[in-house]
Amino acid sequence: MDKFDYEYDDGFLPLNREEMELKGWEQPDFVYVIGDAYVDHPSFGPAIISRMLELYGYRVAIISQPDWKNPASIDIYGRPRLAYLVSAGNMDSMVNHYSVSKRKREHDSYTPGGIMGKRPDYATVVYCNLIRRKYKDVPVIIGGIEASLRRLAHYDYWSNHIKHSILIDSQADILIYGMGERAIVEIAEALDSGICAKDICFVEGTAYRTGSMENIYDYIKLPSYDELKADKLNYAKSFKIQYENTDHYTAKTLVEKYNDHMYVVQNKPAAPLTENEMDRVYSLPYKRTYHPSYEVLGGVPAISEVKFSLVSNRGCFGGCSFCALTFHQGRIIQTRSDKSILQEAEKMVWEPDFKGYIHDVGGPTANFRIKACEKQEKYGVCKNKQCLFPKPCENLRVDHSSYLELLRKLRQLPNVKKVFIRSGIRFDYLMTDKNDAFFYELCKYHISGQLKVAPEHVSDNVLHKMGKPSNDVFKSFCDKYKKINDELGMKQYMVPYLMSSHPGSTMKDAVKLAEYLRDLGYMPEQVQDFYPTPSTISTCMYYTGVDPRTMEEVYVPRSPHEKAMQRALIQYRNPKNYDLVHEALTIAKRTDLIGYDKKCLIRPRKNDEAFKAHGKENGEKHGRDNVKYGGDFRENKGNNKNNDEKRKKKTIRNIHKKKKK
């Protein structure tokens, strides 16, 4: 179309008023304000919600990354007929903006061109307040990961305070938590029938504000907001109750008091989607890419990770303490049928830029494709018992056959060269399977030379706080991985994901992890420092200093300097980390690891006891190594100068040889 400076595609939902008018709409039913670029792909929450509404006949118009300093940016379509929808995007806006050290990130994968700064901090609250400045009475419904995990009072790492429920600060009418497909349709139909937003208090998977407890039944009253602020232990107690009420089958309504005239009520979670419902969600007419107006800006980087990937499941019964999936998707596995996944793949493999590689087939955990036990289908998950931690439950169903059959079908599709698995593999679940067929085919067909796994740590003390299996399980997995690759005649390696400074990790635990890496002969290029994000057990530990499950005290590394030392130990070979590693080993009383033995992590400085013990002659012998590791030897300066001259002459000779060739 001439009126656009991009190739207009009527298949997308309108992103501006001109596109809406071309569709012949006078007014949208819903205006969806999002903090991400508009990407119409089922890996992006706003795409699923908007397409679900479209399926039921509602008109949805998108406002992507509005200028939050300009109220007019929220009003480009005028007043919506039913409501505003608001989401910060696929990530919490604070995680999107800041690293764990609270430094501003330089790149935003969910913004055209990767440009940072196109959304505000606490985006959901800012967008809602912008709407309220223009429209006082239009219903506002919030959702997405930011709203979902902040639905009740929560510890906010970036401000280091207990924040209100996001419903209080945003003044939204309804909050949808979890994935939201059922809830959004039920709310839309209620609004369309004339029910006032403040009276829509019956939808599962939602939370709302109310000034009266009169019509609330069969609920659990949480500690009030004032009580949470007054005592950290109250926060731990409240969190435990919330954690025990995340399952549709067993959860109660939760009520949190703010004052005598304000309560936040969380209804029980929505029921897990059936296979047919999951298939329907992923069969909607997604364009599977970003809006064409972004092409001139360089596209949206985040699409590259998911464009040729397939979502096969939702939910996770792994129960890692640092993960918020229990609060967001729940512990019951929800799957798509093979037919649904193959239909999506068959479209994907004929796309012009498909190179023959399906990047991933999975979900939160790739090899969870069945419910953990038969009881869950009727009674839900156990409140006070995990499926895999500390050891696999006796009722756990372990079966990879369904997943294996799906992968085999995908490998047979035309144009497919390789099907990778890049979602997390839960290795303790794999080790529990007595049938090794999946393990063999994983190594043979679905790895590109390296398998990425997440042991996270090697200290059983830390692993217990993480909700992860003991280190012996990981060792057994490594041995079996090597054995299978040897049998297949394949040279493939393992890349472990590790986390520093998790609650429970003392300096001695961090040193133990460094020794493990030394013995492995591996230094990771990237290390994940524990990041306290809303609604995880680990974040509760970080803030309160206790494990909410047991109320036992937990050691927490909080100071930036201690966290830097624990992180540096994992990358002890990096010369820039020498001083931090030296200090950490001294604090941990492990100066035996400072020396010249092959078991040592770093070389000593000139004035260290280890240097004196070895004598000046031995120190000179290791002088060059010590300079590499951050030492300050200078005795062999003359020898270094001679060696430098030799290297220069050798380089000149090599240049002359190349010229002659």
Total H helices, total E strands in the chain: 26, 24
Judge whether 269 and 247 are in contact, CB under 8 Å: yes
* pLDDT score recorded for residue 348: 95
Here the tokens at position 651 are: 């380089």
Per-residue pLDDT band at 522 (split at 50, 70, 90) = confident
CA distance 141 to 135: 14
State yes or no: pLDDT of 633 exceeds 60. no
CA 356 centroid distance within chain: 27
Here the tokens at position 510 are: 């961090």
The residue ranges of every structural domain in the chain are 17-213+259-266, 308-448, 451-602, 609-660
Here the tokens at position 167 are: 């419903």
Please name which of 344, 300, 313, 319 lies closest in space to residue 179, comparing C-alpha atoms.
313
Angle at 510 between CA 504 and CA 512, to 5 degrees: 115
Percent of the chain with pLDDT over 70: 91
pLDDT in tens, 97-120: 999 999 999 999 999 999 999 999
Highest mean pLDDT among 478-482, 638-642, 649-653: 478-482
Percent of the chain with pLDDT over 90: 87
Mean pLDDT of 348-354: 94
Judge whether 361 and 428 are in contact, CB under 8 Å: no
Q: Where are the alpha helices (DSSP H) in 13-154?
A: 17-22, 45-55, 93-97, 123-134, 144-148
Judge whether 223 and 201 are in contact, CB under 8 Å: no
Strand ranges of the sheet holding 493-500, from the earlier edge strand across to the other edge = 450-456, 493-500, 528-529
The label of the residue with tokens 């079908």 reads 409
First CA to last CA distance, the chain:
58
Judge whether 216 and 521 are in contact, CB under 8 Å: no
* pLDDT score recorded for residue 524: 85
User: What is the residue-averaged pLDDT of the chain?
Assistant: 92
Highest mean pLDDT among 198-207, 491-500, 635-644: 198-207
Q: How far is CA 145 from CA 15, 96, 177, in A?
A: 22, 12, 8
Q: How far is CA 249 from CA 96, 245, 264, 278, 535, in A?
A: 33, 9, 21, 19, 20
pLDDT in tens, 270-313: 999 999 999 999 999 999 999 999 999 999 999 998 999 999 99
Amino acid identity, residue 460? D
Looking at 28-42, 544-558, 620-634, which range is the least confident one?
620-634
* pLDDT score recorded for residue 622: 43
* pLDDT score recorded for residue 54: 98
Mean pLDDT of 230-249: 97
* pLDDT score recorded for residue 613: 60
Q: Which residues pair with 259 in a beta bridge?
A: 262
pTM score, two decimals? 0.90
Q: Is the bond preceding 390 in cis, omega lying within 30 degrees of 0?
A: yes
State yes or no: pLDDT of 641 exceeds 60. no
Q: Does domain 17-213+259-266 have CATH number 3.40.50.280?
A: yes
Q: How many CA atoms lie within 13 A of 276 on its CB side?
A: 0
Mean pLDDT of 552-576: 96
pLDDT in tens, 55-88: 999 999 999 999 999 999 999 999 999 999 999 9
Mean pLDDT of 485-500: 94
Residue 5's CB is within 10 A of a number of other CB atoms, namely 8
* pLDDT score recorded for residue 4: 86
Judge whether 264 and 72 are in contact, CB under 8 Å: no
pLDDT in tens, 377-416: 889 999 889 999 999 999 999 999 999 999 999 999 999 9
Looking at 131-135, 402-406, 625-629, which range is the least confident one?
625-629
CATH node for 451-602: 3.30.750.200
* pLDDT score recorded for residue 632: 31
**Looking at domain 308-448, which CATH architecture does it have?**
2-Layer Sandwich (3.30)
Residue 64's CB is within 10 A of a number of other CB atoms, namely 24
Please name which of 499, 495, 588 lies closest in space to residue 538, comparing C-alpha atoms.
499
Looking at 494-503, 522-531, 594-603, 618-627, which range is the least confident one?
618-627
What percent of the chain is helix, strand and coil (3-state, nearest 5)? 40, 15, 45
* pLDDT score recorded for residue 203: 98
Judge whether 53 and 188 are in contact, CB under 8 Å: yes
Tell me the three state secondary structure of residue 12.
coil
State yes or no: pLDDT of 198 exceeds 50. yes
Residue burial 527-559, b: 16+ Cβ < 10 Å; e: rest: bbbbbbbbbbbbbbbbbbbbbbbeeeebbbbee
State yes or no: pLDDT of 659 exceeds 60. no
CA distance 433 to 470: 17
> Exposed, middle or buried by CB within 10 Å (0-12, 13-18, 19+), for 160?
exposed
State yes or no: pLDDT of 152 exceeds 90. yes
Report the length, in residues, of the chain: 661
Mean pLDDT of 650-654: 55
pLDDT in tens, 311-340: 999 999 999 999 999 999 999 999 999 999
State yes or no: pLDDT of 615 exceeds 70. no
408: Cβ contacts below 8 Å, ≥ 6 apart: 441
* pLDDT score recorded for residue 647: 55
Per-residue pLDDT band at 610 (split at 50, 70, 90) = low
Between 512 and 615, name the one with better pLDDT.
Answer: 512
Judge whether 207 and 269 are in contact, CB under 8 Å: no
Judge whether 92 and 534 are in contact, CB under 8 Å: yes
* pLDDT score recorded for residue 155: 98
Please name which of 113, 46, 123 lies closest in space to residue 293, comparing C-alpha atoms.
113
DSSP code per residue over 285-322: ----EE-GGGGGGT--TTHHHHTTEEE-EE------TT
Please name which of 462, 452, 451, 551 lies closest in space to residue 503, comparing C-alpha atoms.
462
* pLDDT score recorded for residue 625: 42
Please name which of 595, 610, 593, 631 lies closest in space to residue 510, comparing C-alpha atoms.
593
Domains 308-448 and 451-602 share a fold: yes
Mean pLDDT of 566-573: 95
Per-residue pLDDT band at 149 (split at 50, 70, 90) = very high
Per-residue pLDDT band at 611 (split at 50, 70, 90) = low
Q: Tell me 636's DSSP state.
A: T
Here the tokens at position 39 are: 């990407």
Mean pLDDT of 488-498: 93
* pLDDT score recorded for residue 526: 78
Q: Which residues pair with 498 in a beta bridge?
A: 456
Mean pLDDT of 568-581: 95
Between 22 and 612, name the one with better pLDDT.
Answer: 22
Q: How many CA atoms lie within 13 A of 72 on its CB side?
A: 1
Tell me the three state secondary structure of residue 498.
strand
306: Cβ contacts below 8 Å, ≥ 6 apart: 41, 43, 359
